[in-house]
């Protein structure tokens, strides 16, 4: 069911983007849409790292970094300190990926979760709690390294 919700959100976003562009308007995604995309990538990052698909993990991490950068750029109401708190965990995850070190990856991923949750609390969205995913809603994607 969660997979269907994710697919619906992506398709709705694509439709709205296409509609806005067809009208000649500049499309600015809602902050919630940016964060939902980051959340999907966060889940994928976890499974790629745990199954040691370091290439996919690196890709997802860069997408998360870019998404956070876009959120901070487009929504100036987000205090820079909160988004900035993700910089070190992202660097640590990147180092763990490059070293292919699962233990360091897990630790740095936890630090990223902590930074996300601190930001959510800081902007009065503490009810949005990020954690290590228990299951993947992406049943159509393999997170194991290609053979």
Q: How confident is the model at residue 82 (pLDDT cuts 50, 70, 90)?
A: confident
At 101 the three-state DSSP class reads: coil
Integer Rg of the chain from CA: 16
Question: Phi and psi for 59 in degrees, rounded to 5?
Answer: -60, -50
Query: Was domain 30-122 assigned CATH 1.20.120.290?
Result: yes
Between CA 112 and CA 139 the distance in angstroms is: 24
Does 47 have pLDDT greater than 70?
A: yes
Does 11 have pLDDT greater than 70?
A: no
Q: Which of 35-39, 81-85, 91-95 has the lowest mean pLDDT?
A: 81-85
Does 10 have pLDDT greater than 60?
A: no
H or E element at residue 127 = none
């Amino acid at each position: 069911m969660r997979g269907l919700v994710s697919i619906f959100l992506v398709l709705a976003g694509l439709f709205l983007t296409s509609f806005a562009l067809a009208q000649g308007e500049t499309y600015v995604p809602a902050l919630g849409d940016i964060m939902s995309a980051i959340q999907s990538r966060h889940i994928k990052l976890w499974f790629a790292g745990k199954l040691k698909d370091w290439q996919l993990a690196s890709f997802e991490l860069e997408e998360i970094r870019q998404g956070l950068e876009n959120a901070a750029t487009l929504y100036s109401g987000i205090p820079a300190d909160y988004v900035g708190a993700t910089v070190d965990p992202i660097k640590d995850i990147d180092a763990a990926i490059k070293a292919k070190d699962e233990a360091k990856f897990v630790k740095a991923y936890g630090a990223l979760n902590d930074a996300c949750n601190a930001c959510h609390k800081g902007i009065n969205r503490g009810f949005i709690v990020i954690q290590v995913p228990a299951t993947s809603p992406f049943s159509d994607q393999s997170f194991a390294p290609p053979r």
